[in-house]
Structure 1
């Protein structure tokens, strides 16, 4: 692991837990005890024991809630395990103004988009919201837990929209691929139909040519037959006329 990047969420100084070979327990009690030693080193007038015990218990409970809401981050440097908890120091109005300035600076430095979908802007605003949750939780753990519910609901809604978007994109891609495949099939079918049409047109032209040839041949044959028939009729008429003349010559008495 590499050291975590700078975040808008305020953290305490990192604490060396152990070497990787000696790591036996996850974020346990040392995570909450070690960072608090420098804060308790300043001389403070001892309050009454009962009030101090109650204050320490409340403070420890708030720190546990804070660590549950915003878990510490850890990383490895060589064989050493470092853990960094969120800061439990109360915030002031100046801290909020500084947080807003840092948010604007980081949005500009990382060139986040002002509108539309932007992972950078979403990440920075998420860090800013976590810092606000930290600041509220220190003063009132119940408000911090309620803000945690709001944050989780927002993240769940965004995840649902992201899943819906990815599903719609995948659906659109499938439909586009199906359309492309259907287009290719339709183009192939159109090409086959065009080829079939050309073949049928060729056959039609051949049949028309055959029909024209047959009609021409039949017309010629009919003309020949009509001419032959006319010649036979003329021949028979002449023959009939000759026979009639001969018959009249025989029948007519000679004077």
Structure 2
């Protein structure tokens, strides 16, 4: 529904406001800002609820301050049909994804829900207020899930970084231990060679000692036999 403005004069503002948000599915009404006029209580309550749906936006254009509020015009059946068609067009035009998380689809459906709340509020303020509470509760729940998701992602990222840091430390430790293992293997091989050489030397020395001892025993045995024979030969004439 196009935005219409009524020509009302306004003093030059001190502050410049940003232009209104690009909400293509919400019906607005706009005018130059002017002193508030007294309104019936029911109408004021309805407008308060409508302002809660989407707070009024103020901005400066050509030296004049403008205010844009949610429209309080009742919606017809044709308006609802047009809203549905407009929603489908915007989803297609902005290439919103049909499944999964899609910020564009979420934004457009949120605007559509706000417009439906506006239409209901114009006809029944109490029903609109209840829908507004439901909308805010849903937003709060989604925000809580989003916060939980972001916390989980941040926690997972921290754990991943810690794991990467721990992985680097472990790799360095593994390299260090592998170096120590190689050094120990080298020392084992060295001591094994030394043991083999020592055993070989001991075996050779034992064989040499055994041979020498056997030769000495044989020498002393022969000498003993010779001396015994000489002694017997020397004593034999004396017995005759």
Taking structure 2 as the reference length, the TM-score comes to 0.85
Could you say which residue in structure 2 is the equivalent of 1:170? 154
Q: Hey, what's the Cα distance between the residues in 2 that align with 1:245 and 1:191?
A: 80
Moved more, 217-226 or 194-203: 217-226
Q: Which blocks of at least 5 consecutive residues in structure 2 are unaligned?
A: 1-17
Q: Where in structure 1 do 4 or more consecutive aligned residues deviate above 4 Å?
A: none
Could you say which residue in structure 2 is the equivalent of 1:104? 88
The alpha carbon displacement at 1:171 in A equals: 0.9
Higher RCO structure (Cα 8 Å, ≥6 apart): 1
1:3/1:76 contact within 8 Å kept: no
Aligned match for 2:75, one of 71, 88, 91: 91
1:69/1:145 contact within 8 Å kept: no
Could you say which residue in structure 2 is the equivalent of 1:206? 190
Q: Hey, what's the Cα distance between the residues in 1 that align with 2:96 and 2:175?
A: 51
Aligned match for 2:26, one of 2, 9, 17: 9
Is the partner of 1:177 in helix, strand or coil?
A: helix
Equivalent residues in 2 for 1:58-207, closer than 5 Å: 58-77=42-61, 79-207=63-191
The alpha carbon displacement at 1:6 in A equals: 4.2
Q: Hey, what's the Cα distance between the residues in 2 that align with 1:2 and 1:60?
A: 25
Taking structure 1 as the reference length, the TM-score comes to 0.80
Could you say which residue in structure 1 is the equivalent of 2:205? 221
Q: Which blocks of at least 5 consecutive residues in structure 1 are unaligned?
A: 18-28, 34-52
- How many residues were matched structurally? 222
Q: Hey, what's the Cα distance between the residues in 1 that align with 2:47 and 2:149?
A: 38
Q: Hey, what's the Cα distance between the residues in 2 that align with 1:245 and 1:166?
A: 114
Instruction: Supply the RMSD in Å over aligned alpha carbons.
Output: 2.1
Is the partner of 1:126 in helix, strand or coil?
A: helix
Q: Hey, what's the Cα distance between the residues in 2 that align with 1:68 and 1:216?
A: 101
The alpha carbon displacement at 1:4 in A equals: 3.0
The alpha carbon displacement at 1:57 in A equals: 4.5
Q: Hey, what's the Cα distance between the residues in 1 that align with 2:89 and 2:47?
A: 30
